[in-house]
Amino acid sequence: MIYTPLTKKALKLCFEAHKEQKDKSGLPYVFHPFHLAEQMSDEETAAAALLHDVAEDTENTFADLEKLGFGGRILEALKLLTHDKSVPYLEYVEKIKANPIARAVKIADLRHNSDLSRLDAPTAEDLQRLEKYRAALKILEE
């Protein structure tokens, strides 16, 4: 993990925002963004990794994030990483590709979410999602 004042602020917000959530196998959800942040190589990508699901999956808004000091390139990446359900998934992924911060975070996100060993008993739905993630990774890694 990269520890700077900004990443520490992101770490605290990430924990507070996700502390009651569980992932698909019942583990604390917050382990997921922590895992992604550990793989990042600079302050901006680490902060974006920690915050990548905050606006999408919690009550926090982009305005809240901006007020807390997450602006500029980080906020731009977070907006790209937040999937508007009215946009087809692979179209959403295609938009991420051009942003280096969002791209790095999404690749790590997809790889982690593709690790079926995290699940106790993968279902047919999990296998379908895995195929979607493989298609997304192919787009991002081209």
Q: What is residue 1's three-state secondary structure?
A: coil
Q: Which two tokens stand for residue 92?
A: 């959403």
End-to-end distance of the chain based on CA atoms, in angstroms?
Answer: 27
Residue with tokens 């698909």: 24
Q: Catalytic site residues?
A: 56-57
Note the pLDDT tens digit of each residue in 90-132. 999 999 999 999 999 999 999 999 999 998 889 999 999 999 9
As its CATH architecture, domain 5-141 has Orthogonal Bundle (1.10)
- Whole-model pTM: value is 0.95
Average pLDDT over residues 56-60: 94
Where do the structural domains in the chain lie, given as residue ranges? 5-141
Alpha-carbon gap, residue 126 to 38, rounded angstroms = 25
